Amino acid sequence: MTSMGACLTFRAMSTQIKAVTFDLWDTIVDDDSDEPKRLAQGLRPKPEERRHLLWEALTRHQEIAIEDVTAAFDAADAAFNKAWKGHSITWKIGDRLARALMELGRTLPDEELAKLADDLGRMEVDIPPDPIDGIADALEELSRRYKLCIVSDAIVTPADGLRRMLDGHGLKQYFQGFAFSDEAGHSKPHADMFNSAARQLGVEVTEMIHVGDRDHNDIKGPQALGMKAVLFTATRDDDKDSTSADAICERAGDLPAMINGLAS
C-alpha cells in the first residue's frame, strides 16, 4: 500500500502541464460568422458559391446544368465526410473537386483546377469569420505561462490559409505550433494530431490540456491519450449534457483560470 501510494504521488507530481492546445472552429473563431458579411456584400453563401464556381469553370469549356454540378459536389462532400468521420482523414479541396469532376465524367486543365481550388480555399481568408469574444485576451494571458498550439481539422481552407486568417486577426502570434489535419495526415480525434502538437512544442502529450467544442473530437480524443480536456461552449453547446470533459467553459474570459485550476 505504501509503495503504491508513493508511486501515485510521484506520477501526479511528474505530470506538469506545460502546454494548451486549441481547436479552431467555434473555439478560436466563430464558425460561419463570415456568412452575414458575405450577405451584406451581395455574395452567395459559401456552399452555394463553391458549386457555382465549379459550374462556371466547366461551362467555359462546355455547357452543363448547375443542378448536375450541385449533385456531383454533394456526392463529393458525402465521400469527404465518410473519409473524415470514418477514417479521420480530411481530403484537400483539390481532391474534393477531383471527385466531383469524376462524378460528372468531366475534366479541367491542371492550371484551371489549381486556380479553382485556390479560389475555394481562400474564401475564409478573404472574408474571415470573427474571433470568439474575449479569446485574444485569454490567449495573451495563457501564452505567458504555457506553450500554445492549434489542433484543428482543415475542412475547406488549407493550413496556410488558416494561418493567414489567424494572423489577420492578430492571434497567430500566441501559438508556437499548428497541427492542421491536411498537414498532419489525420484529423481529430486521431492521435497523430495531438502527437504532432506535442512534438512541435517539445512536450509530452500528457503535459497538454486541450480546449474544443466537440465531445467526440476534442474531449474523447485527447482523454484517450491521457490528456485533460475542456469543452468550450461559447458558440456551440450541443455536447454539454453528455460530455466527459474535465471542465466546461462558457466564456473565453474564464479559460485562463480554468486551465490554471486543471493544471494545478
Is residue 105 left, alpha or beta, with left meaning phi > 0 and alpha meaning psi from -120 to 50?
left
Q: CA 173 to CA 166: how far, in whole Å?
A: 9
pTM for this model (two decimals) = 0.91
* pLDDT tens per residue, range 22-67: 999 999 999 999 999 999 999 999 999 999 999 999 999 999 999 9
Q: Could you tell me where in the chain the CATH 3.40.50.1000 domains are found?
A: 2-32+130-263
* pLDDT tens per residue, range 100-155: 999 999 999 999 999 999 999 999 999 999 999 999 999 999 999 999 999 999 99
Question: For helices 255-263 and 135-143, what crossing angle results, to 10°?
Answer: 30
Buried residues in 156-188 as b, exposed as e (16+ CB within 10 A):
bbbbebbbbbbeebebeebbebbbbbbebebbb
DSSP class per residue in 35-58: HHHHHHTTPPPHHHHHHHHHHHHH
Q: CA 81 to CA 72: how far, in whole Å?
A: 14
Task: Specify the amino acid at residue 12.
Answer: A
126: helix, strand or coil: helix
Residues in a beta bridge with 208:
19
Q: Of 68, 130, 125, which Cα lies nearest the Cα of 93?
A: 125
Q: Which CATH number is 2-32+130-263 given?
A: 3.40.50.1000
